[in-house]
Chains A and B, each alone.
Chain A
Amino acid sequence: MSKTAETILHLLWTFAQLSVLGFGGGKGIIPQMHADAVTHYHWVTSDQFSQFYTLGKLVPGPTTIFAALIGYAATPARPYLGAAVATLGMFVPSSAMMVAFDTLWDRFAGSPWRTIVARGLAPAIVGLVWSSVWTIGRGTTALTFSPGSFRMLLSVAVVAAVTLLMLRAKVAAPLLVLLAGGVGVVALR
């Protein structure tokens, strides 16, 4: 089997698993996706992973669409095929579950289990979001400037400012990412 065909199968299998485990809107899968795409398969570097995640936040639609970029980078011989396969793997299994559950769900109407499962999973998902902060933060090159340097301090300040603006001023997410990018063009070259 050619290298590309093998990678295609690995992409499909990897993202399909992430897809069915993507509870909480897929917020919790980032650490595992990093472990698979960076540590295990070496499809992308940790920096690239953080940058692709960033592009996922910048474009409309679900953030996890950045799976397409991992697929693109993983198969240099057939980049668009890799992108399409990673995206199908990421979105089709969870969508199929949605279709299958739609009819089942009505039978559970009024059942307390709906809330129990949703609320019960929440702490684990929130813990996974904290791990995403850790994962993405470690791949963010602006945070690797030498400690105490102006650029390092500025980078930390940008993260803090974006966090505050998001929580307090409710500024739209892509706008915040672009504002931070503007600071980067001026001061983080």
Chain B
Amino acid sequence: MPADSPKPSLTSIALTFASISSTAFGGGQKASVRQQVLARGWMDRERFMDGLEIAEVLPGPNILNLAIYCGQRVRGIPGAVAAFLGASVPPFIIVLIAGALYFAYASNPFVQGALRGCALGALGLTLGNALELTWDERADWLRIALLIVTAVAVSLLRMPLLLVLVIFGGAGIVHEYLRSRGKVDE
């Protein structure tokens, strides 16, 4: 960002993220944020990629975290709040409208058919996501074993999420640490 370029107003930060969060889906959201933020000169590419990395590591929706990062970088905490509102209020209103329609018409047989079909679609997407992510792990059988054990512990033994992250997340981190140290030693 050139030193003389004026800081964006809080309104423009909120509106930028509101326009993205009310129109973009899934992975397309990150691409939209990248395009908008770089085009407006709010930060350079390297800064943005850094933010994307944090947004993906920390808990919370990637798109919301990314919006907050960008807002905070250009206008500090008020910028982060503006970005949070822009990224979360439109989806909240849209999902409530969808929910109101759901509660009003869920007993109509045509709507029931549509909902059944859509639920199958959402399940297919989740299954596709699981397959895609598992494929990424194929190089290391220990990581594959870890993800199978996690799935069994959660699905069949109903292990609580906190415990899952501590035990299996912890095991993954230890494994990754040892692997990275092995590389350094070589």
Tell me whether A91 and B60 are in contact in the complex, defined as CB-CB below 8 angstroms, given that A54-B115, A162-B125 are known contacts: yes
Q: Which residues of B153-186 have CB atoms within 8 Å of chain A's CB atoms?
A: 153-155, 158, 160-162, 164-165, 168-169, 171-177, 180
Q: Is the CB of B122 within 8 A of A133?
A: no
Give complex CA distance A140, B127 in Å: 13
Q: Is the CB of A120 within 8 A of B92?
A: no
Q: Given the complex, which residues of A lie within 8 Å of B102, measured CB to CB?
A: 51, 55, 69
Give complex CA distance A184, B137 in Å: 34
Q: Which residues of A20-67 have CB atoms within 8 Å of chain B's CB atoms?
A: 20-29, 31-32, 35, 50-66
Q: Is the interface of B mostly helix, strand, loop or mixed?
A: helix
Q: Find B122's partner among A22, A136, A187 (CB 8 Å cutoff).
A: A136
Binary flags per residue of A96-120, CB closer than 8 Å to B gives 1, else 0: 0111011001000100101111111
Report the tally of A-B residue pairs with Cβ distances under 8 A: 350
Q: Given the complex, which residues of B lie within 8 Å of A150, measured CB to CB?
A: none
Q: Is the CB of A95 within 8 A of B68?
A: yes
Tell me whether A176 and B172 are in contact in the complex, defined as CB-CB below 8 angstroms, given that A21-B165, A99-B68, A184-B120 are known contacts: no
A-B pairs with beta carbons under 8 Å apart, 5 shown: A23-B58, A124-B146, A130-B134, A140-B123, A176-B124
Listed in ascending order, the chain A residues whose CB lies under 8 Å from chain B are 17-29, 31-32, 35, 50-66, 68-69, 72, 80, 83-84, 87, 91, 94-95, 97-99, 101-102, 105, 109, 112, 114-137, 139-143, 155, 158-164, 166-167, 172-174, 176-189
